[in-house]
């Protein structure tokens, strides 16, 4: 997500994790650590184009994924794997975004 959000007015999708979301909130003086509230605020940030509404997706490790769109927040549970099946979590966020976008281009909604 980063801290320079000036280019965000062109973004239709914003992805981040809970730590990035809370840091973003702090930097912008929102005075909340509630990930759902932060995701909603990011999704409502002004856009250069009104063609598409912004969707904000915040992952939270084993906790539900937060998706904010059109003034609403949805939570999607994470399917937990047994610890013995976890090998390495490096790149998990990138893999998640790849999976999300692959479903988006196939016009999946859930």
- Supply the residues annotated as catalytic: 94
Q: Which stretches of the chain are assigned E, i.e. beta strand?
A: 13-17, 55-60, 63-69, 72-76
Residue 32 and residue 25 in contact, taking contact as beta carbons nearer than 8 Å: yes
Q: Determine the Cα–Cα distance for residues 67 and 56; give it in Å rounded to an integer.
A: 6
């Amino acid at each position: 997500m980063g801290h320079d959000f000036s280019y965000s007015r062109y973004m239709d999708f914003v992805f981040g994790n809970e730590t990035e979301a809370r840091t973003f909130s702090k930097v912008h003086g929102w005075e909340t650590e509630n990930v759902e509230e932060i995701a909603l605020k990011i999704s409502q940030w002004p856009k250069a184009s009104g063609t598409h509404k912004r969707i904000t997706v915040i992952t939270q490790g084993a906790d539900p994924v937060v998706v904010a769109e059109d003034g609403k927040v949805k939570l999607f549970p994470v399917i937990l794997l047994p610890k013995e099946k976890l090998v390495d979590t490096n790149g998990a966020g990138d893999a998640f975004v790849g999976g999300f976008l692959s479903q988006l281009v196939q016009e999946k909604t859930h």
